[in-house]
């Protein structure tokens, strides 16, 4: 019987990282199953990505939903544990840094199911972000660690992670972007949203930007200054909608708020934008690849390569308008792209995994020979 590779996906940024890996492993003949935790459950935050990216329907949906961090992570652990015990995969693959990533890794580690982490080793060194905690702890539990940029190798070494399992394979989110480039129609997306030729795309959803009305009010003031210079389209994550509405974001006639967008529509808009304003992780990378100037409203980034070899700049709300002005004057990023952001990361990952599965099998490490239950006492 073919060894089974299980993938855990949960939130929007997982889907574009996983799609090319699932495809490449499928082409390599691996047996696979997809567990969707249901952390994101709206059609616009989840379903539409499966359609756009050609991801197969999940085999299981745990319907974890929203909740406090403890509640959400605990529900992921419980559901993933149940599935791992029933299906006994040879390897669990987790993606990125969301609560579903850490919950799944914890469940697998306790059952001694080996874990692979796609996008290992990124660090912001800011533990106020839940993603940083998720990344650090997940990496400690993994046997295979696939990194997207060279500095991540050093971070893992500094944390005592054995180098043998660390593989610099590149960025699978960029694989997805490369695979979709032909389907990105910037002009059609611009027209559909009634935007002029020069416009900006903005996405803001981080708790430190949207969970506090005072922070949101500062951002709204900054966004209004920006909109004095150029039209802005802003798909709004459910997390920020209420607070941005209350703070009067849409009060400027050149700001259009809309629902979260499907992958192809969003990336089409980014491709045609004169600049992007974000606090997202993925958008920092996607704009670098598309050479669109990016202003990131965060004090730190776990993706420094987007600043050193890309179009990204970290800014505070108070300096946003002048930073946008400068970015518009400077035009598209024209420098080098980060190494191995070439659209071929997932086949590299698939090669490592298939070799690992073959070696693991030959060594007789059959998945789960010991009892899975802790049992009494």
> Is 108 or 129 the residue whose CB approaches ligand UD1 more closely?
129
Q: CB under 8 Å to 312, separation ≥6 — which residues?
A: 284, 287, 288, 294, 296, 301, 303, 306
Q: Residue 364 — left, alpha, or beta (φ > 0 → left; ψ -120 to 50 → alpha)?
A: left
Q: How far is the CB of 65 from ligand UD1 (least distance, A)?
A: 8
Structure tokens at 100: 């579903």
DSSP 364: T
> Is 22 or 98 the residue whose CB approaches ligand UD1 more closely?
98
E strands within 11-69?
Answer: 31-36, 60-61
DSSP 175-218: HHHHHHGGG--HHHHHHHTT--SSEEEEE---HHHHSSHHHHHH
> Is 122 or 195 the residue whose CB approaches ligand UD1 more closely?
122
DSSP 286-345: HHHHHT--EEE-SS--S-THHHHSSSEEE--GGGHHHHHHHHHHH-S--SPPPTT-SS-H
Q: How far is the CB of 73 from ligand UD1 (least distance, A)?
A: 9
> Is 66 or 78 the residue whose CB approaches ligand UD1 more closely?
66
Q: How far is the CB of 130 from ligand UD1 (least distance, A)?
A: 4
* Contact (CB, 8 A) for 314 and 341: no
> Is 117 or 205 the residue whose CB approaches ligand UD1 more closely?
205
Structure tokens at 131: 């993603």
Q: How far is the CB of 362 from ligand UD1 (least distance, A)?
A: 37
> So which residues are the catalytic ones?
205
Q: How far is the CB of 64 from ligand UD1 (least distance, A)?
A: 9
Handedness of CA 127, 303, 206, 249 (dihedral sign): positive
Handedness of CA 293, 294, 295, 299 (dihedral sign): negative
- Enumerate binding residues for ligand UD1 (CB under 6 A): 11-13, 39-42, 45, 66, 72, 98-99, 130-131, 205, 237-239, 280
């Amino acid at each position: 019987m073919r060894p089974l590779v299980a993938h855990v996906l949960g939130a929007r940024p997982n889907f574009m990282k996983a799609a090319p890996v699932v495809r490449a492993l499928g082409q390599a003949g691996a047996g696979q199953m997809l567990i969707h935790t249901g952390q994101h459950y709206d059609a616009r935050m989840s379903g539409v990505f499966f359609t756009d990216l050609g991801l197969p329907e999940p085999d299981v949906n745990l319907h974890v939903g929203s909740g406090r961090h403890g509640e959400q992570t605990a529900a992921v652990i419980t559901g993933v544990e149940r599935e791992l015990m029933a299906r006994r995969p040879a390897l669990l693959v987790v993606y990125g840094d969301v609560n579903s990533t850490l919950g799944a890794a914890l469940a697998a580690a306790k059952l001694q199911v080996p874990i692979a982490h796609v996008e290992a080793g990124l660090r912001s060194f800011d533990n106020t972000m839940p993603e940083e905690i998720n990344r650090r702890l997940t990496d400690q539990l993994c046997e295979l660690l696939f990194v997207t940029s060279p500095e991540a190798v050093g971070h893992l070494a500094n944390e005592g992670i054995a180098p043998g399992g660390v593989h610099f394979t590149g960025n699978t989110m960029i694989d997805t972007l490369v695979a979709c480039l032909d389907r990105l129609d910037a002009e059609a997306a611009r027209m559909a949203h009634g935007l002029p030729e020069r416009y900006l795309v903005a996405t803001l959803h981080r708790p430190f930007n949207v969970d506090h009305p005072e922070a949101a009010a500062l951002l709204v003031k900054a966004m209004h200054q920006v909109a004095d210079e150029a039209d802005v389209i802003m798909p709004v994550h459910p997390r920020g909608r209420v607070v941005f509405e209350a703070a009067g974001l849409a009060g400027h006639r050149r700001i259009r708020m809309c629902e979260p967008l499907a992958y192809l529509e969003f990336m089409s808009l980014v491709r045609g934008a004169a600049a992007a304003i974000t606090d997202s992780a993925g958008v920092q990378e996607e704009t670098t690849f598309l050479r669109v100037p990016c202003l990131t409203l965060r004090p730190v980034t776990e993706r420094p390569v987007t600043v050193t070899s890309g179009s990204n700049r970290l800014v505070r709300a108070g300096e946003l308008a002048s930073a946008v002005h400068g970015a518009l004057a400077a035009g598209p990023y024209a420098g080098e792209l980060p190494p191995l952001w070439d659209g071929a990361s997932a086949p590299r990952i698939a090669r490592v995994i298939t070799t690992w599965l073959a070696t693991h099998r030959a060594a007789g490490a059959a998945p789960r020979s010991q009892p899975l239950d802790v049992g009494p006492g």
